[in-house]
Amino acid sequence: MPSWRLGKGTPLCHLKGVMRGCWSAFWEFWSYETPKVIVVRNRHLGLIYRLVQLLILVYFIWYVFIVQKGYQESESGPESSVITKVKGVTRSQSKVWDVEEYVKPPEGGSVFSIITRVQLTPSQTQDACPENPRALCRSSRECVAGEMDMLGNGEKTGHCVPYNRTKKTCEVKAWCPVENGTALSEDLSKMAPKFTILIKNNIHFPRFRFSKGNIKDSKDGYLRNCSFNETTDLYCPIFKLGFIVEQAGEDFAALAEKGGVIGVIINWNCNLDLPDSECNPRYSFRRLDPKWAQVSSGYNYRFAKYYHCKGKSTRTLIKAYGIRIDVIVHGQAGKFSPIPTIINLATALTSVGVGSFLCDWILLTFMNKDEVYSSRKFDQIATLAQEALKMDSGTTTMASSPIGSKTPVPL
């Protein structure tokens, strides 16, 4: 039979002690615990403690809740559409240019260029002619037939031919004569500063189902007689090219000569807790290409106009310098939501405890004379294992007592 049924006493008593310990731990779980508070009367330490608390509160109240609007749910990167339209005419040395000729591409997207200067290579036909001076040669052996230079203009014929009175270059099959630095240059920038650019922008924040545009919903045709003014007419997005260049801090004549890229940045920062009328676009302008670069600075590209004359294809090669406009749309919308509010409030209340941690560290590290504070701060509590050893030791002592003694013996 098991030993606890033989009346020996000790195993049964041990089992009862374990059961009592389990019940005690179970009921202890439902107890309320509170931290011990010790008041340290030290003015310097108290000043540090309150100053840290003040800084934390100012950070959360001013920066998190007021500046960053930590009580709002936010959405950035709105869905956006941009439509542009340029108007104006100008004249070069040889002809009048209208919008269809100096705006590329003509579709009116968010990226387009306005030509301000051109270099023309007229009357090009498919033929054999001298390559430009980058392919200098002294004899035909230096010109390999069929070879093509990716930076050149055509396919080498294998002949070294005169380029001018002093130089020879490899002959190529290409559009002849090839482009060179002496091409005819025409300036279109005389009237360019007065060109008007309409920038129509609509944005949509899908999370909040909010949409708005930068043009007033009006039927009186007010766009025909208005121009952009940030203080008086924010919803007339018609800009003069000269105004855009000036706001970007650039000289128009220098920019028109070599070309460049100007960014028109539209920023929508909308607090949707306020009326819709408070959500307005903000415009800024800056140059995007590195004008300080010595190599490949400015902006230019090439295109051609083709003709048929006497059954032969002819073209005029145009190297265009211009001002490229990039319309860039940014935005962020926010609206009150209880979830970020609760999270930030909990973070603020928790962060206030940093002051206590800092002051405890200072007190224990630099001001703990004779370990007075640490003795009050920390209580030494014996572990359960140590308590069990003491109980076992006491049980053995009492069990070994004489029969006639008054010391109680546990059953």
Rounded to whole angstroms, how far apart are CA atoms 391 and 402?
Answer: 19
CATH pick for 76-131+178-336 out of 2.160.10.10, 2.60.490.10, 2.60.40.420, 3.10.20.740: 2.60.490.10
Residue 407's pLDDT is what?
A: 36
More confident position, 39 or 212: 212
Is residue 399 predicted with pLDDT exceeding 60? no
Could you tell me the residue ranges of all domains in the chain? Answer: 3-67+339-399, 76-131+178-336
Helix axis angle for 384-399 and 10-29, nearest 10°, is 150
pLDDT digits (tens, 9 = 90+) for 92-115: 888 899 999 999 998 889 999 999
User: Which segments within 138-223 are labelled E, that is strand?
Assistant: 155-162, 168-176, 184-187, 196-205, 210-213
pLDDT digits (tens, 9 = 90+) for 177-188: 998 866 788 899
- Are the CB atoms for 266 and 330 separated by under 8 Å? yes
Rounded to whole angstroms, how far apart are CA atoms 156 and 130?
Answer: 9
Residue 349's pLDDT is what?
A: 87
